[in-house]
Amino acid sequence: MMEVIPAIDLKDGRCVRLYQGDYDRETVFSDDPSRVALAWQQAGAGRIHVVDLDGAREGRPTNLDALAGILAAVSLPVQLGGGIRTHEDVGRVLGMGVQRAILGTAAVEDPEMVARLCGEFGPETVIVSVDARDGKVATRGWLEHTRTEAVDLLRRMSDLGVERFVYTDVSRDGTLTEPNFAAIEHLVKATGKRIIAAGGVSRVEHLARLAEVGVEGAIVGRALYTGDIDLKEALEAVRG
């Protein structure tokens, strides 16, 4: 069964959403991320996806107090991305209780380190985020753009031992439009790896279609906060 994973994006210790990754187009949804995390747990979530937006921009995890609050508030497994670029970063967040450390920029800039981390911590713990705009990978908090095709990065990481990926279409993220189904399906078929899709999920019907595409999970952010998607209803629909 496909996982429906609520997202908590942290900026300045608060729960926010950005529009297409633009740091100047921010909506604050809560000053208490731990309370938000607990609400998602009570609604039936099986996992929480946390993004350290400040960390992604600054190149190191920065919202650690807010992260600690979330980890203390819930008993769910938490996966964290944003600014995790060194061995020390991975060890630190795992030591705090994070179950999965998500690396994005490091996969482009230091792929051999990612391979070593997979070997040390295991492919269930270290996963790679492939963030793309117009099919090309974006790095450093989506502020820098590369010429690397998303599918090429995913294949390269697969060859190095990565088993699970988060794929985000940056142009859909936070827009309440719809996922880039064609790109997601292409990645699933081209690699056969476990992919968690993100970006643009705004209706329960989108989740049903993603399940048909064959992704392992779908991350839902803004639509949960605006009420466009009810988490309990979404979980029931996917189970059905």
- For the chain, the distance separating the N- and C-terminal CA atoms, rounded to the nearest angstrom, is 9
Catalytic choice (52, 89, 131, 173) = 131
Is 89 catalytic? The answer is no
**Minimal CA–CA distance to 199: which of 145, 153, 134?**
134
HSE toward the beta carbon, residue 177, CA cutoff 13 A: 13
Query: What are the φ/ψ torsions at residue 20 (nearest 5 degrees)?
Result: 55, 35
Q: Is 24 a catalytic residue?
A: no
CA angle 7, 130, 114 (to 5 degrees): 105
Query: Given 9, 54, 89, 173, which residue is catalytic?
Result: 9
Contacts of residue 1, Cβ cutoff 8 Å, sequence gap at least 6:
211, 238, 239
Q: Which residues are catalytic?
A: 9, 131
